[in-house]
Chain A
Amino acid sequence: MSKLLTRRGLLKTGAIGSAGLAMPTIFTSAAHAFTNAPTGGSVTLGFNVPQSGPYADEGADELRAFQLAVEHLNGDGDGGMLQTFSSKVLEGNGILGKKVEYVTGDTQTKSDAARASAKSMIEKDGAIMISGGSSSGVAVAVQGLCQEAGVIFMSGLTHSNDTTGKDKKANGFRHFFNAYMSGAALAPVLAKNYGTDRKAYHLTADYTWGWTQEESIKAATEALGWTTVNTVRTPLAATDFSSYITPILQTDADVLILNHYGGNMVNSLTQAVQFGLRDKVVNGKQFEIVVPLYSRLMARGAGENVKGIYGSTNWHWSLQDEGTKAFVKSFGTKYGFPPSQAAHTCYVQTLLYADAVARAKSFNPCDVGAALEGYEFDGLGNGKTLYRAADHQCFKDVLVVRGKENPQSEFDLLEVVEVTPVDQVTYAPDHPMFAGGSLGACNPGA
């Protein structure tokens, strides 16, 4: 017995045995390798926002929100919505104990520039997640890039149906609402205020977002009994809309729907009001203008012309739930003015990402994605929300707003007239407006 079990023999067997036991772990850890796995005491997030170009002010507000979110994740500041978030796994010690750091890129609101800056943040700075943006064209482009690179994309402000429709990707997640939801939320309010016998004329920005919004609003209003007189596409670069507005005077349309955003919206709305459309009476009815997607930041450029005009928005600082109050207090104290809806969605997306990592106990994009899929949460300003597994779209209440008649301050431009319940804006994942794409498999990268 003692011959068989010598000291040398025992060591040999032990060494071989432990090597053997270690083998599967070596292989499993190799199998679990993913792009930019954090190694040190910190983790890097990439915030890709328009820092130059026409949407730079919205990008600056997104960046403020990201900085605030990072501060709260690292345990600084007052904690903001971490206090009201239904999930309690984030403890203010970074993500999984790693300090959160960030790098920023400039999308310039151009797809190629946005892809280049995202690529640089992933390859050079080691960003493990990309978030932000203020245009659907950019969101679709960057989402595709993140899918190929094997990182998670938490989109910022993107409202086109395509982002979680035909262009959806397994690595991409959208908290912001979409054009279909705007139509579904607006239609009942429009019917209540303007009746079911209306003739609508659409002016539409000629790119992915404009097309899907036109399609959504047209379908929603026609379901009410409205007829569509005409849909006219306008170049994205147009600044003078007079030659698109004057033909409306020749038709019997009594509602103008502006599928425009940003500068397009400010100019077309201002000019439509200048051409006296709102003073017109057609078919015995007062002529009305509708702006389905409002941005408070940009609505300022249209000044008094927004008064009384209906639209929809993802979130508004005047909501009175605990999450909103905590976020507005935190943001307002730090920066001196209330946050925009773009800031809100970016802040929430950052918290949701961090929370998913903490719940999955892994930075692997496939684990994070699985933790986000089908996840239900509350306390982030929109009430109960579901991250639907089938298309990575958040489902929550939608706000119908109206330009305020007597604003109390320069931020007080919109008033919430209705909170449309989530059931009313929910659609099947295979709805025709969202058909044509598939999530595919999640890609953890190298």
Chain B
Amino acid sequence: MDAIILQILNGLDKGSAYALIALGLTLIFGTLGVVNFAHGALFMIGAFCAVTLNKILNLSFETLDPTRTDFLGNPLKVKTPYVESWFGPDVGAAIIDWSVPLAILFSIPVMIAIGFIMERGLIKHFYRRPHADQILVTFGLAIVLQELIKHYFGANQIATPAPDAFRGSFDFGAMLGLDPNVIIYPYWRLVYFAFAAVIIGGVFAFLQFTTFGMVVRAGMADRETVGLLGINIDRRFTIMFGIAAAVAGMAGVMYAPINSPNYHMGMDFLVLSFVVVVVGGMGSLPGAVLAGFLLGVLESFASMNAIKSLIPGIDQIIIYVAAIIILLMRPRGLMGRKGVMED
């Protein structure tokens, strides 16, 4: 029982990352009709926003400490971050400690700008081209972006810890009156789940309850008619691209403390996110979210020792097996609409 509760928590946590990326992918596909393989790279760039802000806050001046020596026997250069000298050691250290949450604010304008440049500069030229062309150009873009990041940040992972307040784990077992220290879950992963829920809710509310969202939904359903009504749908779609980029970016920022970021992390998520989108149904936002959580939970259960000993290797293929079964039974995915990608 404990094991099942823990794997459900794991699944929801994994699922929230899949759902956030798949949500952005579906937004772009649904509005612009573009299959964006560079979406994983946006997630990765988001995580590097956290790394960059951490580096900026850690910008330091050096003083020589003659009492200590470095590895070559020269006097040790002691680094003091500027923020610590400006705001005092305690406040400065607290600002650096909270760099990941602060990076959310930093990442929003950066990601919207990157999304805007990507859409206006490259992707808009491929609207009327076949999906295969779009996939090739966005995949190429993803490789360029990740090589750029590798050039500036190196290939190794960069530790980007969560604030001290969120280190450690929450004891569900003790809360429910069960044995303590058995059902525990890291605070930051709970924060991630809550954050994903807020973002997903926010995007749905924006599309459902604002005039802008209504027009976008109308455009997703029938672009031509909306255009004939004299509404500049292209401009709104560009803004949606920016929003999708910001969602991916924020998902990346919050993910940085869970897995130290490296340049390749976007690709690790990209393929799975596409499976999530297809299983959820191309162009369906609720489908993407539902499939994200469903596949996350399935993947976690498949990693359980009891199941792995029954079917070895199932943890590596479960997502694809599930995708095949679902697509055989519901060829348009869980919540796919008729006519999407079928012409």
Contacts and interface: CB of A to CB of B under 8 A. Distances in A.
B82 to A, nearest CB: 18
Contacts of B155: 52-57
B52 interface: no
Interface string B67-111: 010111000100000000000000000000000000000000000
A10 interface: no
A246 B76 CA distance: 42
A371 interface: no
Contact of B305 (A247, A279, A337, A408): A247
Interface centre among B76, B262, B304 (most CB of A within 10 A): B262
A408 B184 CA distance: 34
B152 to A, nearest CB: 13
Contacts of B303: 243-244, 247
Contacts of A411: 71
Chain B interface residue number, banded: 35 or more
A274 B6 contact: no
B184 A232 contact: no
Interface in B290-324: 299-300, 303-305, 308, 315-316
B3 A247 contact: yes
A230 B184 contact: no
Given A243-B300, A263-B157, A270 B3 contact: no
B72 A332 contact: yes
B71 to A, nearest CB: 5
B173 to A, nearest CB: 9
A275 B188 CA distance: 10
Interface in B212-258: 258
A250 B169 CA distance: 16
Given A56-B155, A274-B258, A297-B156, A338 B71 contact: yes
Interface residues of A, number: 50
Contact of A266 (B70, B260, B304): B260
A384 interface: no
Contacts of B315: 235, 243
Interface string B3-14: 100110111011
Contacts of A303: 159, 161, 260
Contacts of B183: 249
B156 A242 contact: no
Given A230-B305, A246-B3, A250-B2, A408 B76 contact: yes
Contacts of A275: 169, 184-186
A280 interface: yes
A304 B161 contact: yes
A274 B189 CA distance: 9
Nearest to A55: B155
A332 B71 contact: yes
A170 interface: no
A243 B71 contact: no
B154 interface: yes
A95 interface: no
Contacts of B157: 263, 266-267, 298, 301-302
A358 interface: no
Interface string A175-201: 000000000000000000000000000
A53 B147 CA distance: 10
A242 B13 contact: yes
B268 A237 contact: yes
A425 to B, nearest CB: 27
A239 to B, nearest CB: 5
Interface string A300-311: 111111000000
B182 interface: yes
Interface string B184-216: 111011000000000000000000000000000
A400 interface: no
Contacts of A263: 157, 262
Contacts of B299: 243
A240 B268 CA distance: 10
A328 interface: yes
B184 A276 contact: yes
A271 interface: yes
B168 interface: yes
Contacts of A318: 71
A333 B72 contact: yes
Nearest to B3: A250
B154 A57 contact: yes
B76 A243 contact: no
A332 B7 CA distance: 47
B182 A249 contact: yes
B14 A242 contact: yes
B66 to A, nearest CB: 14
Contacts of B167: 274
Contacts of B262: 54, 263, 301
Nearest to B74: A332
Contacts of B185: 275
Contacts of A267: 157, 259-260
Contact of A328 (B71, B161, B182, B300): B71
Contacts of B168: 276, 279
Interface string A247-260: 10110000000000
Interface string B127-151: 0000000000000000000000010
B268 A301 contact: no
16 contacts: A54-B155, A239-B259, A240-B258, A243-B303, A246-B10, A249-B182, A250-B6, A263-B262, A267-B259, A270-B259, A279-B169, A300-B158, A301-B159, A303-B260, A305-B159, A329-B72
CB-based closest 9 A-B pairs: A303-B159, A301-B157, A243-B303, A56-B155, A276-B169, A246-B6, A274-B186, A243-B300, A57-B156
Interface of B: 2-3, 6-7, 9-11, 13-14, 68, 70-72, 76, 150, 154-159, 161, 167-169, 181-186, 188-189, 258-260, 262, 264-265, 268, 299-300, 303-305, 308, 315-316
